[in-house]
Amino acid sequence: MFKSFLSVFALSFLLTPKAMALSFDADVPSAVQAQFQSDLAFINQVQGSGQTPLHQQIFGSVSGASYKKFFESRVVSVGLSECGGGGGVVACVIPSVDPHKMWLTNNFVMASIPMVARLMTIYHEARHTEAKNNHWDHATCPVPFLDKNGKDILGIVSGVKMEGRPACDDTVFGSYGSSTIMVKNLAKYCTNCNDKMKMDATIWSDDQAKRLSNPLAAAQLAKDFKN
Protein backbone atom coordinates (compact mmCIF):
# COMPACT_ATOMS: atom_id res chain seq x y z
CA MET A 1 0.00 0.00 0.00
CA PHE A 2 2.98 2.27 0.52
CA LYS A 3 5.22 3.49 -2.25
CA SER A 4 8.88 2.70 -1.69
CA PHE A 5 11.58 5.31 -1.62
CA LEU A 6 13.02 3.25 -4.48
CA SER A 7 10.36 4.84 -6.67
CA VAL A 8 12.88 7.26 -8.10
CA PHE A 9 12.31 8.76 -11.47
CA ALA A 10 15.63 8.23 -13.24
CA LEU A 11 13.68 6.74 -16.14
CA SER A 12 10.18 7.70 -17.21
CA PHE A 13 7.91 5.95 -19.71
CA LEU A 14 5.29 8.26 -21.17
CA LEU A 15 3.31 5.66 -23.09
CA THR A 16 0.17 4.25 -21.51
CA PRO A 17 -0.01 0.47 -21.95
CA LYS A 18 -2.84 -1.00 -23.91
CA ALA A 19 -5.17 -3.28 -21.97
CA MET A 20 -3.64 -6.75 -21.96
CA ALA A 21 -3.58 -9.92 -19.90
CA LEU A 22 -1.93 -9.38 -16.55
CA SER A 23 1.30 -11.34 -16.12
CA PHE A 24 2.94 -12.55 -12.90
CA ASP A 25 6.58 -13.28 -12.21
CA ALA A 26 7.30 -16.94 -11.53
CA ASP A 27 8.16 -16.27 -7.89
CA VAL A 28 4.69 -14.89 -7.07
CA PRO A 29 2.99 -17.79 -5.23
CA SER A 30 0.21 -19.40 -7.22
CA ALA A 31 -2.25 -18.81 -4.37
CA VAL A 32 -1.45 -15.10 -4.40
CA GLN A 33 -1.88 -14.97 -8.17
CA ALA A 34 -5.25 -16.68 -7.91
CA GLN A 35 -6.41 -14.35 -5.12
CA PHE A 36 -5.22 -11.30 -7.06
CA GLN A 37 -7.13 -12.40 -10.15
CA SER A 38 -10.22 -13.23 -8.09
CA ASP A 39 -10.16 -9.77 -6.49
CA LEU A 40 -9.95 -8.14 -9.93
CA ALA A 41 -12.74 -10.36 -11.23
CA PHE A 42 -14.95 -9.09 -8.44
CA ILE A 43 -14.19 -5.40 -8.90
CA ASN A 44 -14.65 -5.77 -12.66
CA GLN A 45 -18.32 -6.69 -12.17
CA VAL A 46 -19.24 -4.14 -9.50
CA GLN A 47 -22.46 -2.20 -9.99
CA GLY A 48 -23.24 1.14 -8.39
CA SER A 49 -26.16 3.46 -7.80
CA GLY A 50 -24.14 6.68 -7.95
CA GLN A 51 -20.76 8.21 -7.18
CA THR A 52 -19.21 11.21 -5.48
CA PRO A 53 -17.85 14.11 -7.59
CA LEU A 54 -14.19 13.22 -6.95
CA HIS A 55 -14.83 9.57 -7.83
CA GLN A 56 -16.42 10.69 -11.08
CA GLN A 57 -13.38 12.85 -11.82
CA ILE A 58 -10.82 10.12 -11.09
CA PHE A 59 -12.51 6.86 -12.05
CA GLY A 60 -15.87 7.68 -13.60
CA SER A 61 -18.90 5.79 -12.35
CA VAL A 62 -18.93 3.16 -9.62
CA SER A 63 -18.89 0.28 -12.07
CA GLY A 64 -16.80 -2.67 -13.08
CA ALA A 65 -16.17 -1.16 -16.50
CA SER A 66 -14.64 1.99 -14.97
CA TYR A 67 -12.41 0.07 -12.56
CA LYS A 68 -11.32 -2.41 -15.21
CA LYS A 69 -10.31 0.37 -17.59
CA PHE A 70 -8.44 2.25 -14.85
CA PHE A 71 -6.40 -0.75 -13.78
CA GLU A 72 -5.70 -2.38 -17.13
CA SER A 73 -4.48 0.89 -18.66
CA ARG A 74 -1.87 1.21 -15.91
CA VAL A 75 -0.63 -2.17 -14.67
CA VAL A 76 0.57 -5.01 -16.89
CA SER A 77 2.62 -7.20 -14.53
CA VAL A 78 3.10 -8.14 -10.89
CA GLY A 79 6.24 -9.30 -9.09
CA LEU A 80 7.71 -9.73 -5.62
CA SER A 81 10.12 -7.25 -4.04
CA GLU A 82 11.21 -6.00 -0.63
CA CYS A 83 10.39 -2.48 -1.90
CA GLY A 84 13.27 -1.02 0.08
CA GLY A 85 12.48 -3.02 3.19
CA GLY A 86 11.33 -1.78 6.56
CA GLY A 87 8.53 0.60 7.36
CA GLY A 88 5.80 -1.93 6.90
CA VAL A 89 5.75 -1.55 3.10
CA VAL A 90 3.00 -3.67 1.55
CA ALA A 91 3.52 -2.98 -2.16
CA CYS A 92 5.22 -0.49 -4.45
CA VAL A 93 5.82 0.71 -7.98
CA ILE A 94 9.44 1.30 -9.04
CA PRO A 95 9.31 3.54 -12.13
CA SER A 96 13.06 3.33 -12.73
CA VAL A 97 12.67 -0.42 -13.25
CA ASP A 98 9.23 -0.64 -14.86
CA PRO A 99 6.56 2.05 -14.41
CA HIS A 100 3.73 -0.36 -15.23
CA LYS A 101 4.71 -3.13 -12.86
CA MET A 102 3.41 -3.59 -9.32
CA TRP A 103 5.59 -5.21 -6.71
CA LEU A 104 4.15 -7.03 -3.71
CA THR A 105 6.09 -7.55 -0.49
CA ASN A 106 5.79 -10.38 2.00
CA ASN A 107 3.67 -8.01 4.10
CA PHE A 108 1.03 -8.27 1.37
CA VAL A 109 1.55 -11.98 0.73
CA MET A 110 1.36 -12.97 4.39
CA ALA A 111 -1.21 -10.45 5.65
CA SER A 112 -4.70 -11.64 6.46
CA ILE A 113 -6.72 -8.66 5.24
CA PRO A 114 -10.18 -8.42 3.65
CA MET A 115 -10.66 -8.25 -0.10
CA VAL A 116 -11.55 -4.56 -0.01
CA ALA A 117 -8.18 -3.84 1.64
CA ARG A 118 -6.35 -5.79 -1.04
CA LEU A 119 -8.24 -3.87 -3.72
CA MET A 120 -7.37 -0.60 -2.01
CA THR A 121 -3.70 -1.61 -2.16
CA ILE A 122 -3.90 -2.64 -5.80
CA TYR A 123 -5.56 0.59 -6.93
CA HIS A 124 -3.29 2.70 -4.73
CA GLU A 125 -0.28 1.28 -6.55
CA ALA A 126 -1.96 1.56 -9.95
CA ARG A 127 -2.12 5.32 -9.37
CA HIS A 128 1.66 5.37 -8.88
CA THR A 129 2.21 4.22 -12.47
CA GLU A 130 1.19 7.61 -13.88
CA ALA A 131 4.32 9.20 -15.33
CA LYS A 132 2.37 12.26 -16.50
CA ASN A 133 1.65 13.03 -12.84
CA ASN A 134 5.19 12.29 -11.62
CA HIS A 135 3.85 9.03 -10.23
CA TRP A 136 1.97 10.90 -7.49
CA ASP A 137 4.91 10.91 -5.13
CA HIS A 138 3.95 10.78 -1.46
CA ALA A 139 4.33 13.53 1.11
CA THR A 140 6.21 13.01 4.36
CA CYS A 141 3.86 12.49 7.29
CA PRO A 142 4.10 15.12 10.05
CA VAL A 143 6.02 14.60 13.28
CA PRO A 144 4.19 13.90 15.48
CA PHE A 145 1.42 12.37 13.39
CA LEU A 146 -1.60 11.99 15.62
CA ASP A 147 -5.27 11.17 15.17
CA LYS A 148 -8.13 13.27 16.55
CA ASN A 149 -7.74 11.50 19.89
CA GLY A 150 -4.07 12.39 20.13
CA LYS A 151 -2.87 8.84 19.41
CA ASP A 152 -0.09 7.94 16.97
CA ILE A 153 -1.34 7.07 13.49
CA LEU A 154 -0.11 3.57 12.69
CA GLY A 155 -0.04 1.47 9.55
CA ILE A 156 -3.23 -0.56 9.70
CA VAL A 157 -1.41 -3.70 8.50
CA SER A 158 2.09 -3.20 9.92
CA GLY A 159 1.34 -1.35 13.13
CA VAL A 160 4.34 0.90 12.39
CA LYS A 161 4.18 4.59 13.32
CA MET A 162 3.76 6.69 10.19
CA GLU A 163 5.25 9.92 11.51
CA GLY A 164 8.15 11.17 9.42
CA ARG A 165 7.65 8.53 6.73
CA PRO A 166 6.84 9.16 3.06
CA ALA A 167 3.42 7.65 3.68
CA CYS A 168 1.01 10.60 3.35
CA ASP A 169 -0.57 12.61 0.56
CA ASP A 170 -1.11 16.35 0.31
CA THR A 171 -3.70 16.02 -2.46
CA VAL A 172 -6.93 14.05 -2.84
CA PHE A 173 -5.76 12.95 -6.29
CA GLY A 174 -2.73 10.99 -5.07
CA SER A 175 -2.60 7.29 -4.30
CA TYR A 176 -4.00 7.50 -0.77
CA GLY A 177 -6.66 9.99 -1.77
CA SER A 178 -7.83 8.20 -4.91
CA SER A 179 -7.92 4.70 -3.42
CA THR A 180 -9.72 6.02 -0.33
CA ILE A 181 -12.29 7.70 -2.56
CA MET A 182 -12.78 4.48 -4.51
CA VAL A 183 -13.33 2.33 -1.43
CA LYS A 184 -15.58 4.89 0.28
CA ASN A 185 -17.73 4.92 -2.83
CA LEU A 186 -18.00 1.13 -2.68
CA ALA A 187 -19.32 1.50 0.86
CA LYS A 188 -21.83 4.15 -0.21
CA TYR A 189 -22.97 3.12 -3.67
CA CYS A 190 -22.08 -0.50 -4.52
CA THR A 191 -25.32 -2.39 -5.14
CA ASN A 192 -23.85 -5.89 -5.42
CA CYS A 193 -21.45 -5.70 -2.46
CA ASN A 194 -22.56 -7.60 0.63
CA ASP A 195 -22.84 -6.01 4.07
CA LYS A 196 -19.46 -7.40 5.19
CA MET A 197 -17.67 -5.81 2.26
CA LYS A 198 -19.42 -2.49 2.80
CA MET A 199 -18.43 -2.53 6.46
CA ASP A 200 -14.82 -3.34 5.56
CA ALA A 201 -14.87 -0.57 2.96
CA THR A 202 -16.01 1.94 5.57
CA ILE A 203 -13.35 0.84 8.08
CA TRP A 204 -10.48 0.94 5.60
CA SER A 205 -11.47 4.16 3.86
CA ASP A 206 -11.85 5.91 7.22
CA ASP A 207 -8.41 4.69 8.24
CA GLN A 208 -6.69 5.67 5.00
CA ALA A 209 -8.34 9.09 4.97
CA LYS A 210 -6.02 9.93 7.87
CA ARG A 211 -3.12 9.90 5.41
CA LEU A 212 -4.36 13.15 3.85
CA SER A 213 -2.00 15.23 5.96
CA ASN A 214 -2.77 18.52 4.20
CA PRO A 215 -5.75 20.09 6.03
CA LEU A 216 -7.20 21.50 2.82
CA ALA A 217 -7.02 18.11 1.11
CA ALA A 218 -8.55 16.42 4.15
CA ALA A 219 -11.41 18.92 4.11
CA GLN A 220 -11.91 18.34 0.37
CA LEU A 221 -12.09 14.60 0.97
CA ALA A 222 -14.58 14.99 3.80
CA LYS A 223 -16.76 17.24 1.65
CA ASP A 224 -16.74 14.70 -1.17
CA PHE A 225 -17.87 11.95 1.18
CA LYS A 226 -20.91 13.97 2.18
CA ASN A 227 -22.31 13.77 -1.33
Looking at the 3D structure of the chain, how many domains does it have?
1
Does the residue 59 lie in any domain? yes
pLDDT at 75: 98
> Residue 205 pLDDT > 50, yes or no?
yes
Residue % of the chain over a pLDDT of 70: 90
Contact call for residues 77 and 28 (beta carbons, < 8 A): no
Q: Collapsing DSSP states into helix, strand and coil, what is residue 187?
A: helix
Q: Is residue 16 part of a domain?
A: no
Closest CA to 48 of 32, 60, 36: 60
pLDDT grade for 6, boundaries at 50, 70 and 90: very low
What pLDDT is recorded for position 9?
A: 25
**Mean pLDDT in residue range 67-94:** 91
- Dist. CA 190–CA 136, nearest whole Å: 27
Q: What interhelical angle do 175-189 and 195-208 show, nearest 10?
A: 150
Q: State the average pLDDT over residues 40-47.
A: 98
Residue 104 lies in a domain: yes
Helix (H, G, I), strand (E, B) or coil at 166: coil
The pTM of the full predicted model, rounded to 2 decimals, is 0.89
How many other CB atoms are there within 10 angstroms of residue 85's CB atom? 10
Asked whether residue 15 is domain-assigned, the answer is no
> Domain range for residue 181?
23-225
